[in-house]
Structure 1
C-alpha cells in the first residue's frame, strides 16, 4: 500500500445514515442533493452559489455552510486526501479533479461524484485493515458531524496520517520496543518453568481470556491435559501441553487428538519447539492449532501473568 504525504485531509459523510455507502463499491466520492445542482452551472462563482442558496430560502449561516461544502467538493487540489467511516472501518482516497453529475440521483445517491484514484482504501500502508475499534475517538468522533464535508483539525490530521501510513509517534515507538524486550525476556523465563508450573500458566491464561476448564488439570485423561469451554458460545477445545516437541510429536498428537469428538477444537501448546514445526493437514476438516514460543509470551502478557511467571521462574 502507498503512503500518503498530503497537504489537507477532508472528511466526507456518505449520505445521512450511510445511504450513499454504495460509493465505496463504485469507487467515487458523492455529494449533494437536488438543492445543490445549481453549483455546477455557476463555474466557481461562490458568491453566486451562496446567493442561490439564500434565494432557495436558506438562512445566511446555512447558505454559508452549504457554499463551503460545495467549494470543498469542487476543489480540484490533487493533494487532498478524503476519509470516511463505513462498514466498521475507516476509508480513504485521493480524488480525481473532474466533477460529474449523477444521472437520476435520488435518496440512494448524491447529485455529483468524483472518481477516487485507485478506488477507496480501507487498509494502512502495511495492509492492515483500519477497523474502527482500533482508532482513537479523537478521529472517529467525526462520524457525528452534522453536515457532509469538513476539514480535520491539526491533531486529527496528524493522527489520521499515522494510521494511514502505519507510523508511530516517539512514545509509541519506545513502548513497542519495551514490549518486545519484555516478550523476549518472558520467553526465557517461561522456558525455565517446571512442567507443572507451565501447565498451570496455560490454565490461568485460558481462564483470564474467557475459557473455563471443564476437566481436571493434567494426568488423568489420555492424550489431553485440559479441556476448556467458552462460557458464552459453549465452544470446547482439547489442549495438549508440552515443554518440548518436534514434528513427529506434532504429527502424532494431531492424529490422536483428531480422534476426539468432532465438535471440539484441538490445540497443542509448546514453549520450546524443536525445529520449525507445522500443523499437519486437517483431519475430518479439523486442523491441530499450534501455539508456540512467542505466542505463549504474548498470551501471558495479555492475560496479565508477567508477575506470576517472574515469581515461578526464580
Structure 2
C-alpha cells in the first residue's frame, strides 16, 4: 500500500499530456480516502493523473461532482440514490448529475466498542452512549439506525452523543466519551483506536429475515454479508454477519465518455495491484462491477465500456 500511496503523491510528476482528474473523498483516516489514494496510485501508470481531494462529508463530495469541482468520487450506493431522489439530508436539493461508473466492493459496517467494555452483542447498547448528530456526515444517521435495529434498538434506546463526523466519533470512543462508535470494517481509524485502548471489537446483531426487512426499510440497498476475521479487519474476532453496502465509483455528468473509459481500463488493468495495496479492494472485479441499482443512473461511457466487453448488468 505504501508504494501506491507514494505513487499517488508523485502523480504531479507525470507528463503534462496525461489526463488530470480529481477524486473527492472523505478526510484522511476514512476508508474512502484510503481507497482514493490507492486508486490514484494504481491508475497513474495508465495515463490517468489523479489528485485526491478530501471533503468534510458526503453532501460536500456529491456537490463537488454536481458543480463540476471534481470528476470522480466514492460513495455508498444508498447515498447516491438518496441524492438523486432529493431525500434525507438531500431534502429539497436533488442532485441530477451523479453517474455510476463501477461497483468497487462491498463494505460491511458496524458499531464497535472497547474490548474492556465486555460487550459483544448489539442489544447490550441499550442505555449506552453512542455517537449521534453527524452534522458533517449525515449519512451516518441512517446507517447507525440500521445497525442498531439488528439489536432490536433505535436511537431512542441509547444516549446520543453529538459528533460532527466519523473521525471525531472514533476519537470520542478512544477518550471514553462514548461507549460505541460507527465505522466501516477495515478502516484505518479502527486500527488506530484499537492500538490506543488495547483492543476493540465490532458488536454482533441479528441477520434473519426480520432483521433484513428492518435494515432495508431504512436503506433499500443494504444487505447482510458474512465477514471473516483477517489482520486488516481489526475488531472482527470471529465470522459474523454485518450490515453491508456497495461502494461505487461515481463521475459527474460533465465527465467525458473517454475519461470514464480510460478510468475503467486502468482499474481493470490494475485490480490485482489495488487489492494487494488495500485488501478490501480484492473484492473488486471488472466482471462484477456493472450492477442494476434502482434509482441510480449509469454514466454512458461506463455502459458502453461494459457492453463492449460483453459484461451483462447484474441485479442487486
How would you bin the TM-score normalised by the shorter chain?
under 0.3
Ranked by relative contact order (alpha carbons within 8 Å, sequence separation 6 or more), the top structure is: 2
The structure with more radius of gyration: 1
Q: TM-score, normalised by structure 1?
A: 0.20
What TM-score does the superposition give when structure 2 sets the normalisation length? 0.20
